[in-house]
Structure 1
Amino acid sequence: MSVKEELKTIVGSNHVLTETEKLKEYSKDFSFHPPRMPNYVVQPGSVKEIQEIVKLANKYLIPIIPCSSSVHFYGLTIPEEGGIILDLRRLNRILEIDKENRMVRVEPGVTWENLQTNLEKEGFRVFNPLFPHRLKSVLTSYLEREPMIIPKFEYSDPILTMEVVLPNGDLLRTGSAAAPGVPDETISDLVGPYGPGLDFYRFFQGAQGTLGIVTWVSLKMGFLPSLKKTFLITSNNLEDLIELTYNIQRLMIGNECFIVNNHNMANLASTTGNPEEIGKLREKLPQNILVLCLAGGYRRPEEKIAYEEEVLEKACSDVKLKPQTSLPPIPDLSKTPLDKLHLAWSKDPYWKFQYKGSCCDIFFITVLERVPDFLKLAYDVLEGEGYSVSDLGYYIQPLEYGRACHCEFNLPYDPNDPKEIKKISSIFEKLSERIMANGGFFSRPYGLWSRIVYEKATEYVNALRKLKSTLDPNNIMNPGKIYYL
């Protein structure tokens, strides 16, 4: 029996795709990663089917590339050596909403749109990145450690427990999910992330599908605020907003807190998504905008917001800035997506793609006071390549009360213009190299970043190789995706 026929036996003939046009859909994404075709696309409908596929892949030494979303941005699911794309979108159930422990358990195919809509009905939310794509897998976002827009320490580790199909087909459950009888016949609440033994769940975060296939995760969730008030604080001097951000985080006020420049704010606040409107709105906005949302729960929310607003006024006056609930170009926040920061981006095209059709992201970890230095680096590279600096978007997300920050540069470009693609590719390589050389940390090393990070981390690479060879001795899990592995 051929591999194709064995796969059909496992998942059914309708869920094994080998047609060239179908395979092409999985060979590329929105990144600059070179397109590469898989041999098969398989759509399992259960954990048992995943285990059988993994065992078959070991038998024939065929690579497996896990895939949970219908939209991808960084080349993670493009096969390096052919093989089987394991499309997990059929596993799309919200398995459990535990209100008492404030935990939700989801399968890989659950999208941001699906989860947020269902939790909102129950009065809850999970902690999300800045307007994630509505069709992106929630599980993938968390495994890839995307930054959350509420920079509180208690939300910095939102994954609680998980279930993983290991590269040999065995099941591993982490933390309190390792108790006998999980998930159906146990008194375990599945919210204890630690032990027994090592914190195994950390192995699979940022692993890009090279160490196993996560079949569900339990995540922290919180109450939706009963009352909220969003403020915009503007300045043409980025250093002033950085100082204010440090003070806000030190004072521990507010929930969502981040800085964007006028280009990104124009994209977020646009009511039409029209490039001409975005350009005009950008010209009317100040260079930098800090967004801060004050929120109250179910106990005395008015009093909490009034107290925090008073503290915010004082913090702003110390740096000679003023908090506002609207701006002349944006008179009513309630008519913009900024009024729904806890939700996914609901419109097409995606907010980063509105201006030119596509966007190249460069993001890394640094500290807030160094962001202006990296911004100067970006301007130098853009000017050298003849790219308009006014088209650059940037997004600065404090992490863990401002201990560090996620700094992101967004480069919109026309995906139908080969010359512009070549220019953006050159900018991406040059700016990435300069960021690394100047102390930026690529904590999610995709593609080129994988090489420039790991070639400077010999001991770390050696440890990764040992872990990889222990868990995946046949090297079937997304081989070649992480440099040196």
Structure 2
Amino acid sequence: MDVRLTLSKIVGADNFIDDPEMLRDYESDLSHDPAGAAMCAVRPESSEEVSAVVTFCNKNLIPLVPTSSKVHFYGAAIPGEGGVVMDMTRMNRILDVDTENRRVRFEAGVNWEQLNNALKERGYRVIMPLTPPAGRSVLTDFLEREEPVNQVYDYGEPLEAMEVVWPTGEIFRLGSASVEGYPDSPSKGGNPSGPGLDFYRFFQCAQGTMGVVTWTNLKMESIPRMDKILFAPAEDLQYLNEFLHRIMPRRIGQEVLILNSVNLAALLSENGYADFEKLSTSLPPWTLILVISGLLRRPEEKIAYEEHFLAEVIKNEFSGIRLVEGLPGLPGSGRRVLDLLRNPWPSDRPYWRLQVKGAFKSLFFHCRPADAKPMVEMVREKALLKGITAGNLGIYIQPIEHNRACRPEITFFYDPKDDEEKERVNVLYRQSAVELLKMGAVFTRPYGDLAAIVYEKAASYAGQLKRIKKLFDPNNIMNPSKLCF
């Protein structure tokens, strides 16, 4: 078996990498996970090349780690058991923009900057998570179920029909992309669930362990004709959640999220730590960000209706809420925040979470909105016991499904050069996760050492996952050592 010769024939000699210096790009990322050394890396350009590489690795029992982003925070693409890294960044074509069905089809290597710019030219956008890095893969973010900041209607489930390569090498299309005549079929790949069995959820939050997704269809939306951004400063997180529980079921607002002063300061800082330190002490403890928008039809009336509804609710039920159009002492903050919510983080600036102290580790989970405050307070108390002050904890609360649930994300900022502080953050992360599980938190995306903690508490579920994994990946070649595999 000549790995170099075979893989070079498949992807071309220029797209086969075994130089140790070049392979270092794949050894580690911005997470705390230990580095891993790959045997080689390949950069396929088509589904057929992906299939040939997967077939070869499966036949020869070689671990295979797919990756499509240039920016990684969670260790999911580190080759824990060596093998071959499949770098999908050459598969970066936008295949179809279907304005009639508000659908865009693109390959795995398309990043946020590329897709955002292409759709903006045509008056459309993809509902995005909070400030994804410009170089990160759009497909990966939605496969990993990064929560969009806009939870209106069905925006929380934007993935549609896709093409995958199973771990045994077969090319397979999911949903209505599987019908005869696709992509010229009537449904245009807009249905992720049919006809036939529904496999697409196997790939969500799977961290590349169930196969390789080569392209997908994604919902897109018109860029609003009118926007009005509102801020609600508050001392009490619970009060904000109760307010959201009143307004979001009435479908008020587009982008809706809550940030503590630390995260909001980090987002708005333009001159590094000096800006951050000043802002974090002047901003309110919590800020609700609420964007009301008018789309293509009667935008003025829609905004007027939402403003009237908000005014009535505040007047009659939530007199403690004060909606303002700007942050105190920050002229133009409304427009700045709206730009941040509608665009990826610029590639020419350090990522906002890295601007605080140089490194971070995030703990995120799902819970009921009523449980968010006690869970956050528990982590804060544990942090203080570890000598980690509130100024080093960024908190982001994303309401989900009209505030039926929420996704808190707690970010621990630390100095990467301080080994003692880094270890304190690691210990706090693990201890907080254990306690959060006891309090009812749901971890749908356990990365790194969190996976062992979560799957230990869900032994029967982990057993079922292993049975499914064995069916589709009998030789366990796809990103082994991740999740419970």
Task: Please give the range of the TM-score, normalised by the shorter of the 2 chains.
Answer: over 0.9
Q: CA deviation at 1:334?
A: 5.0
Q: CA deviation at 1:375?
A: 1.2
- Quote the residue 2:196 is aligned against: 197
- Quote the residue 2:6 is aligned against: 6
Q: Distance in 2 between matches of 1:4 and 1:337?
A: 49
- Quote the residue 1:372 is aligned against: 373
- Quote the residue 1:301 is aligned against: 299
- Quote the residue 1:44 is aligned against: 44
Answer whether contact 1:165 1:172 (CA < 8 A) is retained: yes
Q: CA deviation at 1:352?
A: 1.0
Answer whether contact 1:257 1:291 (CA < 8 A) is retained: yes
SS at match of 1:215: strand
Q: 2:289 aligns with which of 291, 302, 307?
A: 291
Q: CA deviation at 1:297?
A: 1.1
- Quote the residue 2:434 is aligned against: 433
Q: Distance in 1 between matches of 2:330 and 2:364?
A: 27
SS at match of 1:365: coil
Q: CA deviation at 1:294?
A: 0.3
Please tell me whether residue 238 in structure 1 is matched to residue 245 in structure 2.
no
Q: CA deviation at 1:187?
A: 4.5
- Quote the residue 1:19 is aligned against: 19
Counterpart amino acid of residue 322 in structure 1: R
Q: Distance in 2 between matches of 1:97 and 1:61?
A: 39
- Quote the residue 2:227 is aligned against: 228
Mapping for residues 35-434 of structure 1, pairs under 5 Å: 35-183=35-183, 186-270=185-269, 272-317=270-315, 318-320=317-319, 321-334=321-334, 336-346=336-346, 347-434=348-435
Q: CA deviation at 1:337?
A: 4.1
Q: CA deviation at 1:304?
A: 1.0
Q: CA deviation at 1:155?
A: 1.3
Answer whether contact 2:179 2:195 (CA < 8 A) is retained: no
Q: Distance in 1 between matches of 2:153 and 2:307?
A: 21
Q: Distance in 2 between matches of 1:234 and 1:316?
A: 14
Q: Distance in 1 between matches of 2:102 and 2:474?
A: 38
Q: Distance in 2 between matches of 1:266 and 1:255?
A: 22
Q: CA deviation at 1:314?
A: 2.3
Q: Distance in 2 between matches of 1:175 and 1:154?
A: 17
Answer whether contact 1:258 1:398 (CA < 8 A) is retained: yes
SS at match of 1:152: coil
Q: Distance in 2 between matches of 1:158 and 1:103?
A: 9
Q: CA deviation at 1:34?
A: 0.6
Query: How many residues are aligned here?
Result: 482
SS at match of 1:203: helix
Please tell me whether residue 473 in structure 1 is matched to residue 474 in structure 2.
yes
Answer whether contact 2:143 2:205 (CA < 8 A) is retained: yes
Q: CA deviation at 1:340?
A: 4.2
SS at match of 1:397: strand
Cα 1:359/1:101, change in 2 over 3 Å = same
Unmatched runs of 5 consecutive residues or more in structure 2: none
Alignment root-mean-square deviation, CA = 1.3
Q: Distance in 2 between matches of 1:465 and 1:391?
A: 38
Cα 1:250/1:194, change in 2 over 3 Å = same
Please tell me whether residue 461 in structure 1 is matched to residue 462 in structure 2.
yes
Q: Distance in 1 between matches of 2:194 and 2:431?
A: 42
Counterpart amino acid of residue 11 in structure 1: V
Q: CA deviation at 1:276?
A: 1.1
Q: Distance in 1 between matches of 2:271 and 2:400?
A: 29
Unmatched runs of 5 consecutive residues or more in structure 1: none
Answer whether contact 2:68 2:137 (CA < 8 A) is retained: yes
Counterpart amino acid of residue 213 in structure 2: V
Calculate the TM-score normalised by the size of structure 1: 0.97
Q: Distance in 2 between matches of 1:254 and 1:358?
A: 33
Q: Distance in 2 between matches of 1:461 and 1:434?
A: 20
Answer whether contact 1:316 1:323 (CA < 8 A) is retained: no
CA offsets, 1:188-211, max 9 Å, x none?
411011222321111111111111
Of stretches 213-222 and 194-203 in structure 1, the one that deviates more from structure 2 is 194-203
Moved over 3 A (4+): 185-188, 337-340
Counterpart amino acid of residue 382 in structure 1: A
Counterpart amino acid of residue 104 in structure 1: V
Q: CA deviation at 1:336?
A: 2.1
Cα 1:21/1:316, change in 2 over 3 Å = farther
CA offsets, 1:409-442, max 9 Å, x none?
0111111222221121111111111111211110
Counterpart amino acid of residue 314 in structure 2: C
Q: Distance in 2 between matches of 1:195 and 1:350?
A: 39
Q: Distance in 2 between matches of 1:56 and 1:455?
A: 34
SS at match of 2:216: strand
CA offsets, 1:60-117, max 9 Å, x none?
1101100000110101001121100000000001111000000001111101111111
CA offsets, 1:32-59, max 9 Å, x none?
1011111111111111111111111022
Answer whether contact 1:161 1:193 (CA < 8 A) is retained: yes
Q: Distance in 2 between matches of 1:262 and 1:38?
A: 41
Counterpart amino acid of residue 424 in structure 1: V
CA offsets, 1:328-363, max 9 Å, x none?
222212552433412111251111111111111000
SS at match of 2:365: strand
Cα 1:116/1:214, change in 2 over 3 Å = same
Q: CA deviation at 1:445?
A: 1.3
Of stretches 432-441 and 336-345 in structure 1, the one that deviates more from structure 2 is 336-345
CA offsets, 1:122-149, max 9 Å, x none?
1111111011111110000000001111
Q: Distance in 2 between matches of 1:304 and 1:335?
A: 20
Q: CA deviation at 1:4?
A: 1.1
Counterpart amino acid of residue 460 in structure 1: Y
Counterpart amino acid of residue 273 in structure 2: P
SS at match of 1:406: strand
- Identity rate, percent: 41
Q: CA deviation at 1:250?
A: 2.2
CA offsets, 1:168-197, max 9 Å, x none?
1111111110112433x6454110112223
